[in-house]
Structure 1
Amino acid sequence: MKKNINSHYNKMDKLKSGILKNGFSYYIYENDVESDVIRISLLVKVGSLMENDNQSGIAHFIEHMCIYNSDFVHENQDNKDFKKNKLISGYTNFEQTVYYLNCKASQLKDALSIFKDIIMGRNLVISSMNQVEEELIFEITAESKSPKFRLQQAILPELVGIRNLKDKLPLGKLDCIHNLSFEDVQKFHNKWYKPENSAVFIVGSTEKCKCKELLEKVFSTIERSNLSYVKPFFNNYKSSNKVLMNIVDSLKYDEMQLYYLKPVIYYNSMDDNLKSKITDYFGLTLIEGYIKEALRSKEVDFISLDFVSEQLLSELNFSVLELKVKEGILKKAEYVFNIIKELASHGLSEKQFIKYKQSFLYELTEYYRQNQVISNKTITKECIKNYLYKEPLISVNYEYNLCCSIVQELSLKDFNILIENIFKNENLLISFNSKKNLFESKDELERILKLNQ
């Protein structure tokens, strides 16, 4: 058995991680905050980007079929129809499929066996093709009407530079789902569901479970395929600055979103990576606070304004500024653009920087004070990020102390450089989302774009 993953940087003392001889990765974390509950997750590195054009939704279809034919159920005998309420859930995105369930310690072996069945393809049952198809048709029909889905179709292809990405959304396309054969499902599963392409995460009251022995017993018998996982290839798109106008009838508020593509940086160490992420978070938080304060000083009303980092498709990372308003989105967007231009040109003053830094550190302390207890779900998410993106795993106390020390050491010069890197980004997309067309001409679109240059 191989040594622990990233053991040098792992500050989570209760974590045990490693790789079985067949390439199957595992993470075990002892977390007793949820009594006898254990959260188990299986991740397979396969999603909609691995699909051929005529297979749109096949990864999602396999997820549903594996869940549909799972034996890990709770039988509700009070129900006259004696329906089985499945405890296993899942989701599929562009690059991963994840299955998860909560169980008791006494059920751990049975739960792991269900995940083994998924990897082995035992849950692919030809007689359930029609039922699974009906499930997906219902989900696709409902979700495709949602504002989120319609905006994904419009914005994501422009963001990542894959023009046909709207045809590769994980949900799938109705005509492709309808035409899938059982042979198609089997071939796709056999190609991607491999131990070296998968990881299991066990988080909860695991102390008495002998998890490592169970993992060995359940999963080590699966043969390694010796086929290396190939990450989906796409060109790192260099877009010219652009403005989109998306009309979505069901939106509650008008929105303006600024997407800034971050450059791909390869760090020499985990410490450098972590410092960069903390610095970035600190910077976005301060910029968000500065813009909000400036808007309020001008008595500009808005529903919300948030500046966040968003990761799409492996190494594509964006800083996203989103403004929501009840009315007057164009005028209020202009206010935001002018504030950004001023901030990008002049940065913060020393006095402003000290004030915002003190406020940030206070809010950071309050946040960590209130979040000392971490759920099984949250810990699992952190472990998944480590598996997929090599993000360091650290304890809450260590993370808090590290955040404070890094932020305290940041100078005004460092911060103003960060501002410049964000706002003078060559890869910028502005998306206006509204119930109606906000622009009368292409010239007006270009005028809006120039406001943020």
Structure 2
Amino acid sequence: MKALVAAAALALGLPALAQEAKPPESSRQELAIPYEKYTLPNGLEVLLSVDRKLPIVAVNVWYHVGAYHEVPGRTGFAHLFEHMMFQGSKHVPDDVHIAMLEQLGATDLNGTTNTDRTNYFETVPSNHLETALWLESDRMGYLLDTLSQDKLQTQQEVVKNERRLGTETAPYGIADEKLWHALFPAPHPYHGNVIGSMADLEAATVEDVKEFFRKWYAPSNATLAIVGDFDVEKTKALVEKYFGTLRSAPKPQKPQVAPVKLTREQVIRHEEQVATLPRLSMSWLSPPYLSEGDATADVLGTTLATGKASRLYKRLVLEKQLAQSVSASQQSLGAQSVFSIEVTARPGVSTDTLRKEVDAVLEDVRKNGVTPQEIARARTRYGTLFLGGLQSIGGFGGKADVLQSYNHFTGDPDYLEKDLARYQSVTPEQVKRFAQEQLRPDARAVLHAVPPQQAPAASKENK
């Protein structure tokens, strides 16, 4: 599932229609986000889009650096640096960046890091746009003026605690990390999976932070999006005032990394110490975001495990009652994506039994494909998600985020309708071929995460 529509899925109830449904013409018109794109002399890209529904403005800054750009021995550094950006800069006192925005009535205020980019965003009342731009420009231009060892150590501990909570003590956290490492062995930059390792987080130095900032946080490696109710000419003047004088530096080159190829099935058996139910996970390397096959993977994931009519849910949860839950999804990434299936067992059911059942479903797709009705349901789902995200100007999946995402990955902010068209063009034959070529048993990693032996439970496996 794509990042720009994932947030909408949390809020929308998705219909499971049995007939093909294309977005109505009015909906297609809503997909168009009018914008203007230009570049300052120092290399900063600017995206402006006027939306006067409400007297608010979304400010969204993307730095084109993520985990993919990290060097060996510094996994987790892009995310650690994201935290440093909230610690104060030359004209903004320590730890008041968020408080200042909240006092202005800001919402959708956050910063996030993934494999391919780091972003910072807030939505403010229109009359406070200038303050938001000043805050963003000050940390873009003058973060290093107040950088200290104490600030770094504080954020190192914060991020290390995030790792403890999100990986080391989370249900299936260590197991999932083992699976990810099997897919992306070191020194591939995806190996650290954004959060990085404890050893690398502890090893980061102030000089590392300075070098990272100078290389990757230059205006030439950033894009500023402003979406909402604002005066275009006045806003351009504000952008020039606060960003136009920032240092100029050459745009850094993206690392060139050879794609990973799995040439045999890798099986991982992990003794799960946190969760209480066994879980089976299967993962394959798949086409990058927006490339050929990416939308096909999304459609197949929906067909397999979204809704009660999906194949895995119907077979494993409803009919055979072997599983508590199932999921199948395409995690779309810039270099290589990951297609995954996860099944959590009911008490008394082994992951080996689940594996046989999942393989049977996949083999049926490889041999017989999927139906036009199943593809129609998936198309309807993604159309709904796209439209839902565009109801907001800021935050995750809002208009500013959409413009930024397409600009980052394609150079064309006006890519939304083309993206949706990818799903309209997926055919049953393409889904069948994807399952045959991409989801091969000899090109996957399989994780059996099983808790220590518990008291015998009534077996469900012969049902």
TM-score after normalising by structure 1: 0.74
Shift of 1:114: 2.0
1:204 aligns with 2:204: no
Q: 1:157 to 1:234 in 2, by over 3 A?
A: farther
Shift of 1:133: 1.5
Shift of 1:202: 2.0
Tell me which amino acid in the other structure corresponds to 2:400.
T
The DSSP-based 3-state class of the residue aligned with 1:376 is: coil
Corresponding residue number in structure 2 for 1:65: 84
Corresponding residue number in structure 1 for 2:64: 45
1:8-407 to 2 correspondence within 5 Å?
12-32=32-52, 35-53=54-72, 55-69=74-88, 71=92, 72-74=97-99, 89-122=110-143, 124-126=145-147, 128-144=148-164, 145-147=168-170, 149-162=173-186, 168-174=192-198, 177=201, 180-207=204-231, 210-231=234-255, 233-251=257-275, 253-263=277-287, 277-288=294-305, 289-295=310-316, 298-312=319-333, 314-327=334-347, 328=349, 329-348=351-370, 353-360=371-378, 373-377=391-395, 378=397, 379-390=399-410, 393=413, 398=417, 402=421, 406=425
Structure 2 unaligned regions, length at least 5: 1-29, 455-463
Shift of 1:67: 0.4
1:429 aligns with 2:412: no
CA distance in 2, matches of 1:77, 1:197: 28
Tell me which amino acid in the other structure corresponds to 2:177.
Q
Q: Deviations over 1:248-284 (max 9, x none)?
A: 322254322221222569xxxxxxx688554443333
Report the more deviating stretch, 90-99 or 190-199. Answer: 90-99
Q: Give me the identity figure in percent.
A: 14
The DSSP-based 3-state class of the residue aligned with 2:177 is: helix
8 Å CA contact 1:246–1:431 kept in 2: the answer is: yes
Tell me which amino acid in the other structure corresponds to 1:120.
G
The DSSP-based 3-state class of the residue aligned with 1:67 is: coil
Tell me which amino acid in the other structure corresponds to 2:269.
M
Q: 1:387 to 1:146 in 2, by over 3 A?
A: farther
CA distance in 2, matches of 1:414, 1:164: 30
C-alpha RMSD over aligned residues: 3.9
8 Å CA contact 2:403–2:414 kept in 1: the answer is: no
Q: 1:181 to 1:160 in 2, by over 3 A?
A: closer
CA distance in 1, matches of 2:71, 2:136: 26
CA distance in 1, matches of 2:387, 2:158: 43
How many corresponding residue pairs? Answer: 405
Corresponding residue number in structure 1 for 2:19: none
Shift of 1:94: 4.0
Shift of 1:434: 3.1
Report the more deviating stretch, 172-181 or 131-140. Answer: 172-181
8 Å CA contact 1:160–1:316 kept in 2: the answer is: no
8 Å CA contact 1:64–1:132 kept in 2: the answer is: no
CA distance in 2, matches of 1:166, 1:25: 26
Shift of 1:22: 2.2
Shift of 1:316: 0.2
Q: 1:368 to 1:155 in 2, by over 3 A?
A: closer
CA distance in 2, matches of 1:260, 1:406: 23
Shift of 1:50: 4.2
CA distance in 2, matches of 1:208, 1:180: 42
CA distance in 2, matches of 1:234, 1:142: 30
CA distance in 1, matches of 2:212, 2:373: 55
Shift of 1:140: 0.9
The DSSP-based 3-state class of the residue aligned with 2:273 is: coil
Shift of 1:27: 2.2
Corresponding residue number in structure 1 for 2:432: 416
Structure 1 unaligned regions, length at least 5: 1-9, 79-84, 266-272, 439-453
Q: Deviations over 1:165-184 (max 9, x none)?
A: 69845435555555554334
TM-score after normalising by structure 2: 0.73
8 Å CA contact 2:64–2:118 kept in 1: the answer is: yes
Shift of 1:337: 1.1
Tell me which amino acid in the other structure corresponds to 2:362.
I
CA distance in 2, matches of 1:230, 1:366: 34
Tell me which amino acid in the other structure corresponds to 2:220.
E
Tell me which amino acid in the other structure corresponds to 2:323.
F
Shift of 1:413: 3.7
Q: 1:193 to 1:11 in 2, by over 3 A?
A: same
Q: 1:330 to 1:204 in 2, by over 3 A?
A: farther
Q: 1:175 to 1:281 in 2, by over 3 A?
A: closer
The DSSP-based 3-state class of the residue aligned with 1:433 is: strand
Corresponding residue number in structure 1 for 2:22: none
